[in-house]
Amino acid sequence: MLQLFMPLNFMGMVYREIRQGLTDIERMMEVLDQNPEVADREGAGLLKVDGGTIRFEHVGFSYDPERQILNDVSFEVPAGKMVAIVGPSGAGKSTISRLLLRFYDVTSGRITIDGQDIRDVTQASLRAAMGVVPQDTVLFNDTIFYNIKYGRHDATDDEVFAAAKMAQIDDFVKTLPDGYDTMVGERGLKLSGGEKQRVAIARTILKAPPILILDEATSALDSHTEREIQDALDRVSKDRTAVVIAHRLSTIIHADNILVLDAGRVVEQGTHAELVTRRGLYAGLWARQRQAEKAREELAHALEEA
C-alpha cells in the first residue's frame, strides 16, 4: 500500500509544483498585461532617459473602433514632477497609464519620453524605466522577501530590508512569526489591500526607476493605513517623474499639476488651489468627497460614543 501511495504522493507534489509555476507565470502575464499586438519596431533603439519628461501630444485612443476612449489628450509631466489624473469612473484614467506603458498603441497623436516616441524604443527598455504601483497588486506565491526582491534581482538582503522600511511594511512583517519568510499569495497569508500595496511600493523603491506610475486603490482605507501609504508614496516619488491615477483627492492635494479627465477629454488642469476656486468639475468632486469623509467621521464618532 505504502509503495502505491508514495508515487501518488510524489506525483501530487510534482503536480503542485507545476501548478505553482504556472500560477506564477499566469500572474506575471497578468501583471505585465501583455498585449501581443504591440510589437517592437524593427531596429527599435533603447530608451535614453534624461530626467524622464513625459509628453502626451493630441493623443486619441479606442480599444475598439466603435468607441473612442481618449480624445485629443495633451499634457506634460516635467522631469521630477508629479501629475495627478482625476475624474469620474470610466473617464479613461487607467487607459492613460496603459498607453504610457505601451500595452496598447495610441490611435492618433504620440507619447514621448525625453523627446523619444515610445513606439520607436524597445518595450523592454521602456518598461525598465518605469515603476508601477498598481491598483491591485498581485503577489507571487512565495515569501514576502521574494516578493519585494522581485523589484531588483541583484539587490542585497540589506537593500530589501531598507526598501521594506521605507515602504512602511517592515513593522508589520516583523509581527509575523516567520517574518520575511512568510509565504503570501493564494495559498499563503492573505494580505490586506493596503499591505499588498506597500509590498508593491517596497518593490518599486528597490527598482528605483526614473518614472513612476501609481494607480491608487479605489477601496477605502482606514485613515491610519492611508497616511502610512501616503508617506511611503511621497518617499518613493520624491525627485522622480510621477503620474498618479487618483481616486481619493485628499492624496494628491500637493501634486504639481492635476488633470481632470471627463469622458476621455482633459476638461480642467491646474493645482488643487486653482481648481477649487474655479468651481468646475474638480471643485464639485472635491466638495462631494469632503462631505462623504465628514459623514464617515461623524458615524465613527457616534459609534465610539455609543
Chain residues in the site for ligand ATP (CB under 6 A): 63, 69, 87, 89-95
Q: Whole-angstrom Cα distance, residue 54 to residue 204?
A: 19
- For 120, which DSSP code? G
Q: Smallest distance from the beta carbon of 61 to ligand ATP, in angstroms? A: 9
- For 64, which DSSP code? B
Residue whose CB is less far from ligand ATP, 148 or 261: 261
Residue whose CB is less far from ligand ATP, 74 or 277: 74
Residue whose CB is less far from ligand ATP, 92 or 210: 92
**How many C-beta neighbours within 10 Å does residue 275 have?**
22
- Residue 87 — φ and ψ, nearest 5°? 150, 170
Q: Smallest distance from the beta carbon of 247 to ligand ATP, in angstroms? A: 6
Q: Smallest distance from the beta carbon of 244 to ligand ATP, in angstroms? A: 12
For residues 260 and 280, is the Cβ–Cβ distance under 8 A?
yes
Residue whose CB is less far from ligand ATP, 12 or 284: 284
Q: Smallest distance from the beta carbon of 263 to ligand ATP, in angstroms? A: 9
Q: Residues of 113-143 as b/e, b for ≥16 C-beta within 10 angstroms?
A: bbebebbebebebbbebbbbbbbebebbbbb
Q: Smallest distance from the beta carbon of 256 to ligand ATP, in angstroms? A: 21
Residue whose CB is less far from ligand ATP, 263 or 276: 263
Provide the grid cell at 87: 475624474
Residue whose CB is less far from ligand ATP, 95 or 116: 95
Q: Smallest distance from the beta carbon of 148 to ligand ATP, in angstroms? A: 26
Q: Whole-angstrom Cα distance, residue 169 to residue 160?
A: 11
For residues 172 and 202, is the Cβ–Cβ distance under 8 A?
no
Name, in order, each residue with C-beta under 8 angstroms of 232's C-beta and a sequence gap of 6 or more. Answer: 166, 167, 168, 169, 198, 201
